[in-house]
Structure 1
């Protein structure tokens, strides 16, 4: 059907959406400090445990970002929230470069985590404002592609900078945030805002939590958000215990990234032809099953098949999830809905590595079964229908 062709949907995206994608790429490319923060702190004499706690504070900041970013997006506007997020991130990164006392470092890392991710609910809400429903899956896939391309190229550049000066990482990271914030202020539209009598913190969140289809969607998503961080926690641990080299892990992770970059956008011309609940159910189930099958994979070809399976699930559900959250939300509460959706992923990122590691170490069979079960339950919940 012509209206669902990828070329037609990309051509239909407004200029402001492309500006947002470009800004997201710049910001993600400039994620220079966090991948090297543990190395930076241990070089300054802190223990590995202290460095790990500081990095965990960054994850805690994500929880704050999801809620605060969603509220600000609805109350002061999408553009202003993105700019505020980036400018605070820039200032916090510069402050972190000068911090030496450990409590100050942890506190500033928490602020960096909140500020740098606060723009996401606003960006998701702005996509919902700018893009018609029939093009939203494509738009969210482009937003993900911009972020993935930025992160794929940024750390390599950061590694070169770190070889000369860690301070250069902080300056470059802050500069890219400043650039994205400036682009937001000068080139992005304001986006929708709530009326003053609806702009209090809890109103939109209460509305979202009374929306049964949205709550069911969040519960379905929560089932699989704890699986996502297993890719960088229990997966390398399992491979090491099974006798595979770090090079194998690096290859498999690169394969995941390459598949997403090459095929996710093209898949949207198929996924948006079908009801979002069915697509989410398929994606969640395939994601959980593909990852769980790693427990039965004892060769590199078998592991490759598992990666292809779970990545296929990811490519199916990820763009549809953001678009579905936007569709379920009234315009005046779209930022808060995106904030709650982001919160489910932040919670999984925070709890997933600890939960997965404990399960894998205590009972590996139970761990793999729980991963498959979580994907299946998420898929079944995604199919539940309730009147809005």
Structure 2
């Protein structure tokens, strides 16, 4: 039921993939101003995992998910009726907080009820289910946007109300989370004193800025090539299709190789795929680039979930999840903030920067390899 809730929720998450296009085409904002609004959403999404992790550890997993989803539905309805630039920034910020508040709670809820040796696979499958839903969202969203942008917001709100009901039904018979005394002493400050964790979080944030270009640089490039919203939906959906078929195969198999090596290769694929986008002008060319950088995403997803759990004390899993989603989720701020500004010249600078970032992260993971190996051996 938890997997079903994740797929349904992401299938209805129609706003963010088309937010920039909506703001420029329907609200008449410039690319830079639209990027500012999208960055406000991203800033809220950055803060949200910290709040969600704390709420999940102290108030409970399911209540946190319910509060986040209901708030997200309300924010979506308000956003469609907002036209003023200043108000758009404020509502987008609130929407970003609400939309990701459930993430640490959902991850921790899965971990709470799963045997340790199965957790990496289950966490990867949770990411897989989210990407399956996102694939449907961008495909359906492209068509719905061509009919009426309001449909994106209405359907998004409805799905946000369905999601917590499914989670409650699926999780009501699971063992209740018991708060321990250790929860009060293992917090964010303790985690941030761990240099290995900080290094991993930094590289996750750097790569998140690349992954986030699927909602920023990619739609701008597709539009600049004279292609339609439906074409963008088709191109972006290639990412979900690749993840659908490859992530279940990669999960478990990547455990046979050093995690740092897998992460390094994945970062390199992300850099190459996004860098090659500067040469794309047709649906097929864009899709080939998507395939390359999506394979990099698959490598990241197959390793990150289990790696973060290996570093987390049992009493603070949700907060460690919160830190990871804060770092990786910072793409909601960095991707539109940097992407819209670097794309001003037609995208050449943006794609060169993406290629460089991929190489930088690949080297970074190799430098962390010895410490990562020691930590895993002692886990």
How would you bin the TM-score normalised by the shorter chain?
Answer: 0.7 to 0.9
User: In the alignment, which of 69, 72, 77 is matched to residue 86 of structure 1?
Assistant: 69
CA distance in 1, matches of 2:278, 2:22: 35
Partner of 1:26: 8
Given that residues 239 and 249 in structure 1 are in contact (C-alpha distance below 8 angstroms), is that contact kept between their aligned partners in structure 2? Answer: yes
CA distance in 2, matches of 1:249, 1:143: 25
Given that residues 288 and 374 in structure 1 are in contact (C-alpha distance below 8 angstroms), is that contact kept between their aligned partners in structure 2? Answer: no
CA distance in 1, matches of 2:139, 2:289: 27
Structure 1 residues 218 and 23, CA, compared in 2 at 3 Å: closer, same or farther?
same
Structure 1 residues 101 and 346, CA, compared in 2 at 3 Å: closer, same or farther?
same
Given that residues 32 and 169 in structure 1 are in contact (C-alpha distance below 8 angstroms), is that contact kept between their aligned partners in structure 2? Answer: yes
Structure 1 residues 382 and 281, CA, compared in 2 at 3 Å: closer, same or farther?
farther
CA shift, 1:338, in A, is: 0.9
Q: Which stretch shows the higher mean deviation, 183-192 or 133-142?
A: 183-192
Unaligned runs of 5+ in 2: none
CA distance in 2, matches of 1:48, 1:357: 10
What is the DSSP-based 3-state SS (H/G/I as helix, E as strand, rest coil) of the residue aligned with 2:295? helix
CA distance in 1, matches of 2:199, 2:85: 41
CA shift, 1:62, in A, is: 0.5
For the aligned residue pairs, the C-alpha RMSD in angstroms reads 3.7
Structure 1 residues 153 and 76, CA, compared in 2 at 3 Å: closer, same or farther?
same
CA distance in 1, matches of 2:339, 2:312: 32
Establish whether residue 187 from structure 1 lines up as the match of residue 199 from structure 2: no
Total equivalences in the alignment = 366
Partner of 1:246: 227
What is the DSSP-based 3-state SS (H/G/I as helix, E as strand, rest coil) of the residue aligned with 1:226? helix
What is the DSSP-based 3-state SS (H/G/I as helix, E as strand, rest coil) of the residue aligned with 2:371? coil
Partner of 2:251: 268
Partner of 2:356: 370
CA distance in 2, matches of 1:164, 1:305: 28
Structure 1 residues 63 and 379, CA, compared in 2 at 3 Å: closer, same or farther?
same
Larger Rg: 1
CA shift, 1:186, in A, is: 3.2
Q: Which stretch shows the higher mean deviation, 129-138 or 37-46?
A: 37-46
TM-score by length of structure 1 reads: 0.78
User: In the alignment, which of 371, 375, 378 is matched to residue 385 of structure 1?
Assistant: 371
CA distance in 2, matches of 1:69, 1:166: 29
Give matches, 1:232-311, under 5 Å: 232-234=215-217, 246=227, 253-292=236-275, 307-311=290-294
User: In the alignment, which of 306, 315, 321 is matched to residue 332 of structure 1?
Assistant: 315
What is the DSSP-based 3-state SS (H/G/I as helix, E as strand, rest coil) of the residue aligned with 1:227? helix
Unaligned runs of 5+ in 1: 1-18
What is the DSSP-based 3-state SS (H/G/I as helix, E as strand, rest coil) of the residue aligned with 2:330? helix
Structure 1 residues 299 and 371, CA, compared in 2 at 3 Å: closer, same or farther?
farther
CA shift, 1:167, in A, is: 5.0
